[in-house]
Structure 1
Amino acid sequence: MTSDSGPAPRDARLTPARPDLADIALTDIVAAERYVAPELRRLAVPSAPLRRAPREGAAIDTEAVMGDAVRVYEERDGFAYAQLVHDGYVGYLPGPSLGPAEPAPTHRVRALRTFLYPAPDLKRPPLGHLSLGAAIHVLDREGEYLRLPGDRFVFAAHCEAVGWQAPDYAGTAERLVGTPYLWGGRTSLGLDCSGLVQLVLDLAGIACPRDADQQERALGSALPPETEDLRRGDFVFWRGHVGLMLDGGRLIHANGHHMAVAVEPLRVAVTRIRQNSHGPVTGLRRLGPVGA
């Protein structure tokens, strides 16, 4: 539906279009010099920043993690103009971070972090680490380790087959207490407020957009603003910020005040945030029927 003033503007964060290039699916919808069909790729490194511009030092909007499916529209000068499949976010990834789309992941990391080894041996110097939720393709098992392509190994007990879920998303958030705050972060090495919410919901099998304003529109059902009987799993939104209730009085959120994922009384957070940064609470939301 459109208004008398024309169609609503498209969200640039989710629209793979520039003046010189756009997704072929947007032909006759947005203006561009040329339209291309994307190539499906997959992130092949533990994590990579998705930047607003194709240069080092450009602002980071979010991160891709190993196994994430990516639509690539152009590769040039070491960067790929791309869209993350799971949430639609558009930006620039380091070109070398991308690999082929196949083989598809067979397992996901359930530990907060785990190491990649060059052999099934905990005494070998690790090659890197994988974060909670990273997706991997397992070739076979050697003792207590899973073998990945490229002769890399990960401890088997830190992984589960694709399809594993952690339905208590508030409990998953509690596991991440103390994780440093990182603007754009969505790994267990660093998280921002909406990255925390997206990660824990993803592990619960619940689709979730990336940014707080998108989450406020999309998640569950709105609660009346005067609601006082908040429950575990309810979401509290401010302008540009989001937190998750652990019970009727405690909020968990990644925030710049603590520079970490922290738990505090909701009333304390509301007072401080109103005075110092994001203003008053703008919305309360609950997954499932509000009256349940």
Structure 2
Amino acid sequence: MSYAICIVPVAPMRSLHDHRAEMSSQVIFGEQVKIISTTDDGWALLECCNDGYTGCCRMNQFLIIENPIELKNEYCNEWVQPIYLNDEKLMVPLGADLSILKNSLQDVKLKYDGKVLIATQQKFTEENVIKLSEPYLNTAYLWGGRTVFGIDCSGFAQAVFKMMNIALPRDANQQVNEGEGIGFLPEVKTGDLAFFDDEDGKIIHVGILLNSQQIIHASGNVRIDNIDSEGIINTGTGRRTHKLRVIKRIKEY
């Protein structure tokens, strides 16, 4: 099986080999994928190495490598920052994987002068949860999005936890299976995840709790809203928008 590294700022991952198909997720610059299969017209079915998510991408947005490179858990720590790939300027987003900088790849020249976040040095604390969530505030909601250019609810949770070296699955209905359940809102800590369901009981939304009364989540945009035992209350309209199903603690601190 061959591997590849994303060499564009953000590569859309689609449900089918078609530009018009649903964008189910994204692959961010520097992230690695396994190549499951390819088509004659330049598409490939890929599996993301970081979370096992699968989807279809254009292969001209990736560099094929024989073996996966060593992960350094180092990420772009600015909202957007230039990186030079063979002297071509790319504007990569917050959270872009910089492992590629410390691995020698044939015919690849890289230059990056921006700030670097080393995830293994970021402890899971109340302060870090808030600090790493705030840069995403007001980012537009985008189904399948994972960056400050546009993000969905589970992509937001995954992105914030990644910066503290905690791996979450891609979708909310997968993330809900992680961690330990918390019975009541007064017992929550900053960084607990709240999950919300629809009328059929299906998990459809996730957000990061800031305290027992506030949640930061991607809904229209990344925003801070109020929460009670029934669910989320939009701070602007006063309307209830999401019905609370369960709270999970991913990690203690």
Q: Same fold (TM over 0.5)?
A: yes
Aligned AA (1:59): E
In the other structure, the counterpart of 2:222 is 261
Q: What is the deviation of 1:228?
A: 2.7
Query: Which of 22, 27, 35 in structure 2 is aligned with 1:59?
Result: 22
- The question of whether the paired residues in 2 share the 8 Å contact of 1:234 and 1:284 is answered with yes
Distance 1:172 1:183, change over 3 A: same
Hey, what's the Cα distance between the residues in 2 that align with 1:166 and 1:180? 28
Distance 1:200 1:162, change over 3 A: closer
- The question of whether the paired residues in 2 share the 8 Å contact of 1:184 and 1:191 is answered with yes
Q: The residue matched to 1:264 in structure 2 has which SS? A: strand
Deviations 1:125-155 (A, max 9, x none): x833111121233379xxxxxxxx7555332
Query: Which of 166, 179, 190 in structure 1 is aligned with 2:139?
Result: 179
Query: Which of 178, 196, 201 in structure 1 is aligned with 2:161?
Result: 201
Ranges in structure 2 where 5+ consecutive residues have no aligned partner: 198-203
Hey, what's the Cα distance between the residues in 2 that align with 1:251 and 1:78? 42
Hey, what's the Cα distance between the residues in 2 that align with 1:196 and 1:159? 19
Query: Which of 195, 199, 204 in structure 2 is aligned with 1:237?
Result: 195
Query: Which of 113, 116, 129 in structure 2 is aligned with 1:155?
Result: 113
Hey, what's the Cα distance between the residues in 2 that align with 1:151 and 1:282? 49
In the other structure, the counterpart of 1:127 is 89
The answer as to 2:8 corresponding to 1:45 is: yes
When normalised by structure 1's length, the TM-score is 0.71
C-alpha root-mean-square deviation of aligned residues, in Å? 3.0
- The question of whether the paired residues in 1 share the 8 Å contact of 2:233 and 2:241 is answered with no
- The question of whether the paired residues in 1 share the 8 Å contact of 2:231 and 2:244 is answered with no
Distance 1:92 1:118, change over 3 A: closer
When normalised by structure 2's length, the TM-score is 0.80
Aligned AA (1:249): Q
In the other structure, the counterpart of 2:200 is none
Aligned AA (2:56): Y
Q: The residue matched to 1:217 in structure 2 has which SS? A: coil
Ranges in structure 1 where 5+ consecutive residues have no aligned partner: 1-37, 121-125, 141-148
Q: The residue matched to 1:135 in structure 2 has which SS? A: coil
Distance 1:72 1:174, change over 3 A: same
Distance 1:119 1:42, change over 3 A: closer
Hey, what's the Cα distance between the residues in 1 that align with 2:111 and 2:233? 48
More strand by proportion, 1 or 2?
A: 2
Which structure has the bigger radius of gyration? 1
Deviations 1:221-275 (A, max 9, x none): 0111x443322111111021011111221110011xxx21001222496246xx7
Identity %: 25
Distance 1:57 1:166, change over 3 A: farther
Q: The residue matched to 2:16 in structure 1 has which SS? A: coil
- The question of whether the paired residues in 2 share the 8 Å contact of 1:170 and 1:245 is answered with no
Hey, what's the Cα distance between the residues in 1 that align with 2:69 and 2:181? 40
For residues 261-280 of structure 1, the aligned pairs below 5 Å read 261-267=222-228, 270-271=232-233, 278=242, 280=243
Aligned AA (2:89): L
Q: The residue matched to 1:282 in structure 2 has which SS? A: strand
